[in-house]
Amino acid sequence: MALPIMYKGAVYPWHCDHMGHMNVMWYVGKFDEANWNLFNYLGITAEYLKRHQRVMAGVQQNITYKQELVAGDVIEVRSRILEVREKVLRVEHELHHVNRDTAAAIMDLTAVHIDAVPRKSCPFPGAIRDRAAGLIDRTAVRIEPQTP
């Protein structure tokens, strides 16, 4: 099953560092853009957050860099829900090199739904939890990074 694309773009020269490849800060930025597109798809929109005084907080983020990206590379971020719990969403984003058809980096993100007033975690509304649960790809096999 193809993963849904939550971001499309390109690597520009200003994304590259003195070694000639995309700097890690831009990987994080691309993943963040994909993340907000995914949240929006789930119903966690800016309007929802403001109206209900909610925020989403990333509490853990792990990135595996698989191959470098350089200026001119066309990229997309493919996303999947790994886990949804009452107050927690775990997401995997794959930054994909379009022309090579390979993964350049993979991010595993754990985010918590928070009531902005007391600054405490709170349950997702049922509709958001159900929509996220519907996106869990139960047949996907996650490949763990190999240790050197």
Q: Is 143 domain-assigned? A: no
Q: If you average pLDDT over residues 46-60, what whole number do you get?
A: 97
Instruction: Answer whether residue 140 is part of any domain.
Output: no
How many structural domains is the chain composed of? 1
* Among 133, 84, 132, 79, residue whose Cα is nearest residue 106: 79
Q: Is 19 a domain residue? A: yes
Write down the pTM of the prediction. 0.87
Task: Flag whether pLDDT at 142 surpasses 70.
Answer: no
Please give the backbone phi and psi of residue 123, each rounded to the nearest 5 degrees, phi first. Answer: -65, 145
Q: In the beta sheet, which residues pair with residue 58? A: 111
Please give the mean pLDDT across all residues of the chain. Answer: 91
What is the rounded average pLDDT of the residues 19-44? 96
Residue 47: domain span: 5-134
The pLDDT tens digits for 2-12 are 678 999 999 99
Which CATH number fits the domain that encloses residue 122?
3.10.129.10
